[in-house]
């Protein structure tokens, strides 16, 4: 079956009653499907509908190769971005693993103090690579959160160093200039 067939059997954005049966199948594919079925689930799962713990359980599977696990981590990040209240601190262990950049936004939002304390380790020591990684996290922030994070990073200039701080601030400033924030100008979630 091509992707069009799957889209017909797993409707998107049509209300919970239309999505529920298809997502029950996708949940089963995450937990017990073969590698191709897990890829299918990762591709078609609605991040706001699949419980993140189901996706996280797939990361414990030893029968999936690293390329599939990378996609599962990315799906988990999308689900956590859509459902940040379901964040679990056990997800910290996934940061730094392939595909984990999409988890950065939910970590910044739901585990903010831990993120700030461990920012140097999480983002790495290379300023350009750290800014690239931070970009993924900033995508889940609203405007107030981005402004607040910018001030918090700038206040850590002595600890982070000028090159790192300037690179991270440039990343955030670029997103502020574009004005395309998740949730617009909603209040901070931390």
pLDDT in tens, 76-119: 999 998 998 999 999 999 998 999 999 999 999 999 999 999 99
| Least confident interval from 11-15, 20-24, 71-75, 142-146 | 11-15
Q: Sorting pLDDT into bands at 50, 70 and 90, what band is 177? A: confident
Closest CA to 10 of 27, 26, 31, 29: 26
Q: How far apart are CA 95 and CA 107, in angstroms?
A: 9
Name 171's Cβ contacts closer than 8 Å, sequence gap at least 6: 131, 132, 134, 135, 138
Domain ranges of the chain: 1-93, 111-190
pLDDT in tens, 137-150: 999 999 899 999 99
Q: How confident is the model at residue 19 (pLDDT cuts 50, 70, 90)?
A: very low
Tell me what pLDDT residue 162 has. 98
Would the pLDDT of 184 be above 90? no
Q: What is the mean pLDDT of residues 7-11?
A: 41
Alpha helices in the chain (DSSP H): 3-9, 16-32, 35-44, 52-58, 66-82, 104-110, 112-123, 127-138, 143-154, 157-160, 162-178
């Amino acid at each position: 079956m091509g992707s069009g067939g799957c889209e017909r059997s797993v409707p998107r954005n049509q209300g919970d009653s239309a999505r529920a049966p298809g997502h029950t199948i996708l949940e089963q594919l995450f937990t017990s499907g073969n590698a191709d079925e897990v890829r299918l689930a990762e591709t078609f799962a609605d991040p706001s509908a699949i419980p993140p713990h189901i996706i996280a359980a797939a990361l414990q599977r030893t029968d999936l190769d690293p390329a599939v696990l990378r996609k599962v981590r990315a799906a988990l990040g999308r689900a956590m971005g859509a459902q940040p209240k379901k964040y679990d601190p056990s997800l910290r262990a996934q940061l730094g693993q392939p595909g984990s950049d999409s988890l950065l936004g939910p970590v910044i939002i739901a585990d903010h103090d831990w993120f700030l304390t461990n920012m140097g380790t999480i983002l790495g020591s290379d300023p350009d690579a750290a800014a690239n990684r931070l970009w993924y996290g900033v995508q889940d922030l609203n405007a107030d959160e981005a402004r607040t994070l910018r001030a918090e990073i700038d206040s850590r200039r002595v600890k982070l160093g000028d090159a790192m701080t300037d690179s991270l601030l440039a990343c955030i400033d670029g997103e502020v200039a574009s004005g395309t924030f998740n949730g617009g100008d909603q209040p901070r979630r931390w």
